[in-house]
A and B are shown apart, each in its own frame.
Chain A
Amino acid sequence: MAGAGVVAGGGLLSACVDKSEKESGEKVKALTTDGQIIEVDKAVIKTPRVSIKESHEGIPGRKFVMVIDLAKCKNARKCVESCQKGHHLPQSQEFMKVYLLQDSDKSAPYWFPKPCFHCDNPLCVSVCPVGATYKRTDGIVLIDRDRCIGCKFCMTGCPYSTRVFAWKHYKEFEEDKEPYSPEASSPGKEGTVSKCDFCPDLIRIGKLPYCAQSCPMGVIYFGDIDEDSVTNGTETFRFSDLISDRAGYRYLEVLGTRPTVYYLPPVERQFPVDRGFNDLDEKIKNRYKETPYGKTHKL
């Protein structure tokens, strides 16, 4: 069901259909603007090339929002892996990070996937000396890799440790064949900062961001706050209902950054927290050794 073709609820289909392409034989479903589901060949769907100017302005009339359901996360790490693949990231860079949090000694530990919060009051944007990182009309905060001077001020400005720096030239960066666009999941560049971009290139062709697409538990909902709908690919909710029914909140609201990522608290969980350690790579497991949970459970 998930997989390639189903377009996000309320999504817009802006894929160009190019008849001259050879057919691949693989059909995908797509939603037209008048609400019809159609089948088209995979090869004919192309991402419209977005100019640098367009990628600075944002998708008109949209305001994106993400909802992460902590009750369902079991640290499967599919979001991290597909994001790394989609964005040509080296192993050492993660746009999506999964934390094991525990708010206090007696409170329960829980898994906490953390993308960029695409704040409405983004400190990273304020402090950037060259306008390399910017806020778009659709709410997305992006980085222009060709503008960034690598001063890392945005990294100290962000209170959520979201941004990553290219400390050297990684071989994954060489995959850069397409002309550069800040929103096209282009590979990074040595000496510049990058981060989660909400995958605007996928949104434009009506797909969900990599993390939301790939989560086997459907933890990550993505949508439009003006359309008041979010979907994880299988279920679609009214955003406002979901937030009010499940007591959605934003992380560290007290800082006043006004994130556009909401969390649903880890109540009535589908999995115990230690399921998150199943089949986990030893290196990844070591990350959680020094957490309060890791110490008491001798990871």
Chain B
Amino acid sequence: MENKNTREKLLREFAPQIERASATSIIWILFLISVIGLGIYAFINQVTQGHEVTGMRDNVVWGIYIVNFIFFMGMSYAGAIISGALHLFRTEWRKPIIRMAEYLAIISLLIGPGYILLCIGRLDRLPYLALFGRIQSPITWDVIAISTDIFGCLIFLYLSMLRDIANLRDFKELKLPKWRKKLYSALALGYTGTPEQEKRLKSATDIMAAMVIAIAIIVYSVLAWIFSVTLQPGWHSTIFGPYFVIAAVYSGTGVLIIAMWVFRKIYKLEEYITRKHFVAMGVLMVVLAALFGYFTFSDYLTKWYGSEKNDENLIKILFTQYYWPFIFSNYIGVLIPLIVIGIPKLRSITNILISAIIVVLALWINRYLIVVPTLESPYLPIQDSRTAWVYYYPTWVEYALTAAGIALFCLLFTLGSKFVPVMNVSEMSEAPKSGGQFKSEESLI
């Protein structure tokens, strides 16, 4: 049962961010919109002048758009898996952060597929994917999987927000324009918290939580198979499905920690999001760091040890031309969280935040190193006098659209937090179940 007093206290606390936008937040939103505007300008350039304005050419046909696609989809699956799992296991410390994980899941899922569209030469023929779709093609698998995922995630997010929407509708102190009150009461679907409603909502949320975990694993494996079904050296790997899933959740925990830190700061949530939450997420990140490091090591070890000519060539490129990015993404990106969270003394919020930032950057570069060097070293050596055909250098158009994606991500997160509190108010006002209570960080280890 929800505790009425706690709920009202929480709602009162969140009321200012729901009711109005501060000057800083308006500037922030305008800034994000202008970055998105730049992205739109770049996109118009790409459409009118052709894909020549990008750095992609006949050998490296996929560049940072695909990297961003993998990255955003990864964050989405991470959000889904983390929120689904935390929900199902009734983890007590999930309460203040689970809404952020859900936002992460749905917002990155809305942005990710946009990047694959940027790779498509004829956007006007997009309906062909449905009209002439062939089930043999992994792209068709992806289309089916991603649309299922968007649907599933939206339902899950909606279900988990329903009680808070009803709370906002019923909270009379909230000073809001009429249309927003109407919107809340429409979205609340007449939920009043009767035992029957509560029971149904709970079982629906549980089912969806389990579903989004399963869907997320399937979708991200399908995405990995787009690479591993081809014969390209470096891609043709059986490990890619699980490897991508682990990498996705790993990067997602990093983004979630950053989001926790940012919202804690701007909305002054120090009382609710404490060090123990950072440590709990940090521990999750360490487990994933170990798994990610293990998968990365297995993948490259077997390529290097058996050394087929083309694999050997690829490894050589990674350790020469891409030496520092490779070291950063696959060594530093694994070791830093292991050290920072592995040693209890180092577990400060700032340290955990720094390692989260390193993880996120490392994982983006990791995807770049999966996509680009392989395309730069095909079976038949590239023999071309045009440098752009041999090496891939992203252009301003690609960077602008990457920045626009990040800006859109931040914008949707900001707007989302202004629509429904970033913390799950109704869950937080529930009394913790005895036994399952999260006492101290020591109980984690």
Residues of A within 8 A of B (CB): 92, 97, 99-101, 114, 123, 126-132, 147-153, 155-157, 159-161, 163-169, 190-193, 252, 255, 257, 283-291
Contacts and interface: CB of A to CB of B under 8 A. Distances in A.
Interface in B310-346: none
Contacts of A255: 231, 379
Interface of B: 49-52, 56-59, 61-62, 119-122, 125-126, 128-129, 131-134, 136-140, 143, 226-227, 229-232, 235, 375, 378-386
Contacts of B143: 129
Given A149-B120, A191-B122, A164 B50 contact: no
* Smallest CB-CB A-B distances: 6 pairs: A150-B121, A191-B121, A168-B50, A286-B385, A129-B139, A129-B137
Contacts of A165: 51, 58, 61, 121
A163 B378 CA distance: 13
Given A129-B129, A284-B385, A156 B139 contact: no
A75 to B, nearest CB: 11
Given A127-B137, A149-B121, A255-B231, 7 more contacts: A92-B386, A126-B137, A127-B139, A129-B140, A131-B132, A157-B229, A287-B383
B62 A191 contact: no
A190 to B, nearest CB: 5
Nearest to B235: A156
A288 B383 contact: yes
Contact of B383 (A99, A149, A283): A99
Contacts of B122: 148-150, 191-192
B128 A147 contact: yes
14 contacts: A123-B230, A126-B136, A127-B136, A129-B137, A130-B131, A130-B132, A130-B137, A149-B129, A150-B120, A156-B375, A159-B231, A161-B379, A163-B58, A190-B50
Contacts of A148: 121-122, 125
A100 B383 contact: yes
Given A99-B380, A149-B129, A152-B119, A128 B137 contact: yes
A156 B138 CA distance: 13
Contacts of A167: 50-52, 56-57
A195 B6 CA distance: 67
A132 B375 CA distance: 23
A100 B137 CA distance: 34
A161 B380 contact: yes
B134 A130 contact: yes
Contacts of B56: 167
Contacts of B62: 152, 156
A287 B328 CA distance: 33
A82 B15 CA distance: 73
B133 A130 contact: yes
A114 B383 CA distance: 12
Nearest to A157: B230
Contacts of A163: 58
Contacts of B51: 165, 167-168, 191
A166 B133 contact: no
Contact of B121 (A123, A152, A257, A288): A152
A252 B379 contact: yes
Contacts of A284: 385
A184 B58 CA distance: 23
Contact of A156 (B125, B230, B384): B230
